[in-house]
Amino acid sequence: VRKAITSGQITDEVDAVVQPKRQVRADALRNEDAVLEAAKAIFVTAGVEAPVREIAARAGVGLGTLYRRFPKRSDLVAAVFRREVDGCAAEATALATQLPPGEALATWLRRYMQFIATKRGLAAALHSGDPAYNSLPDYFQANFVPALKSLLDKAVADGKVRPGIVPYDLLRAIGNLSAASGEDGLEHSQRMVDLLIDGLKFGAAATAEKTTA
Amino acid sequence: VRKAITSGQITDEVDAVVQPKRQVRADALRNEDAVLEAAKAIFVTAGVEAPVREIAARAGVGLGTLYRRFPKRSDLVAAVFRREVDGCAAEATALATQLPPGEALATWLRRYMQFIATKRGLAAALHSGDPAYNSLPDYFQANFVPALKSLLDKAVADGKVRPGIVPYDLLRAIGNLSAASGEDGLEHSQRMVDLLIDGLKFGAAATAEKTTA
């Protein structure tokens, strides 16, 4: 008993179903973003074990809304982490449009070091074995490796950095250098990341010298 | 009831007491060295919890002799560590006489990285809180900082490295870079230490360019 329908009817029917869904989806995204922003701020001051009630209150959403989207605390922690990875990776694109290639690379590597240095507490949670965190290392690499590769390629093309540097090698080195403890740990890490950046430039200078000699 | 004695008498009496002691001391040193050499080799293959009996057997000394000198396992572990620090620091002096300043510095930094990379198991023991290990961080710094400073100063004087590098900064950075895990961890650490070394040279090259310009 199927009825012949015109394409106009289909469109109307689809609209009737999709339109409210879009609205719901927009609200949900707005709520989700508010929760993630609130959670990020509260995790920094109170750690990733901070009361979920506080996060919901700060975000201006009900506790039910928060739990519907993030049933477990680890879901929320993982989402905050992914959002911050997105933000840091996006900065690579922004810097590439604002600075000369060599400076964009150096600035982003320092920014990345800050990112890592402020994630020490989170890193401990990530190694807890909770399945919500399983995909994060891949997410991390899938975003940061292309971001850094793009900056490196531009700096190499501009003659500011030697070719042949493996992006993941640098990310890993900065991660290890950021593990410096003590009250001067961050300043030490910054100096040593700057020294690594100089190392990247050294090869380029040598190549340039050879070329002009 | 004190008797007047001549200086010749004193000398004879001192000799009579000291001579056998010297012999005992020489034997003790030889035994100690054999024990430390054996312990070092056995710790590498079997870890620092290896049976003391095996160490004594390999050193060719009695178990009593070993325990008299090293009452606790931690005394033995600490002594092996100090001896290896001595050896690695002494290589700095040797390299300075064999290679040009820049190469001596680079070679020793790579050697130091190997030293650290092979001490991961030992490092865990050192952080166990055993009082026998309390003095080791100081011993480590008291030997390595002057060893590296001497190599750095010579390389700076030779125009191969920029001035102003803090030796302890470099030791610390190499320590952190050596923490890379995974089966390619050592190769990764080597590449990144080489990049740091290039960073040291970069500043010098820039200075040299400015000077000659």
Kindly list the residues from chain A whose CB atom is less than 8 angstroms away from the CB atom of residue B172: 180, 188, 192
- How far, rounded to the nearest angstrom, does the alpha carbon of residue A15 sit from its chain's CA centroid? 35
The confidence score (pLDDT) of residue B207 equals 52
Give residue-wise pLDDT tens across range B149-201: 999 999 999 999 999 999 999 999 999 998 888 889 899 999 999 999 999 99
Coil, strand or helix: which one is A6? Answer: coil
Q: Could you say which residues from 135 to 174 on chain A have a Cβ atom under 8 Å away from some Cβ of chain B?
A: 169, 172-173
- Can you tell me the mean pLDDT for B83-105? 96
Looking at the complex, does the CB of residue B197 fall below 8 Å from at least one CB of chain A? yes
User: In 10 A of CB B108, how many CB atoms?
Assistant: 26
Looking at the complex, does the CB of residue B179 fall below 8 Å from at least one CB of chain A? yes
Query: What are the backbone angles phi and psi of residue B178, rounded to the nearest 5°?
Result: -75, -10
Contact residues for B49 (Cβ-Cβ < 8 A; gap 6+): B73
The confidence score (pLDDT) of residue A142 equals 96
Picking from B109, B99, B42, B119, the residue whose alpha carbon sits closest to that of residue B76 is B42
Distance CA A149, CA A207 (A): 20
Locus of tokens 């605390």: A73
Picking from A118, A28, A133, A131, the residue whose alpha carbon sits closest to that of residue A82 is A133
The confidence score (pLDDT) of residue B23 equals 75
Structure tokens at B119: 């001490």
Looking at the complex, does the CB of residue A116 fall below 8 Å from at least one CB of chain B? no
Smallest Cβ–Cβ distance between B169 and the set A176, A191, A197 belongs to: A191
Give residue-wise pLDDT tens across range B14-43: 555 556 677 778 888 899 999 999 999 998
For an interface test with A, the pick among B178, B195, B209 (most A C-beta atoms closer than 10 Å) comes out as B195
The confidence score (pLDDT) of residue B209 equals 46
Task: Give residue A183's pLDDT band: very low, low, confident or very high (50, 70, 90).
Answer: confident
Looking at the complex, does the CB of residue A120 fall below 8 Å from at least one CB of chain B? no
Picking from B44, B51, B53, B56, the residue whose alpha carbon sits closest to that of residue B84 is B44
CA separation, residue A106 to residues A187, B47, B200 (Å): 16, 42, 16
Looking at the complex, does the CB of residue B188 fall below 8 Å from at least one CB of chain A? yes
Alpha helices in A47-166 (DSSP H): 52-59, 63-69, 73-98, 101-117, 120-126, 136-157
| Burial (0-12, 13-18, 19+ Cβ within 10 Å), A182 | exposed
By C-alpha distance, the chain B residue nearest A196 is: B196
User: In 10 A of CB B32, how many CB atoms?
Assistant: 18
What pTM does this model have? 0.80
The confidence score (pLDDT) of residue A20 equals 63
Helix axes B101-117, B185-212, angle to 10 degrees: 160
Structure tokens at B38: 């054996």
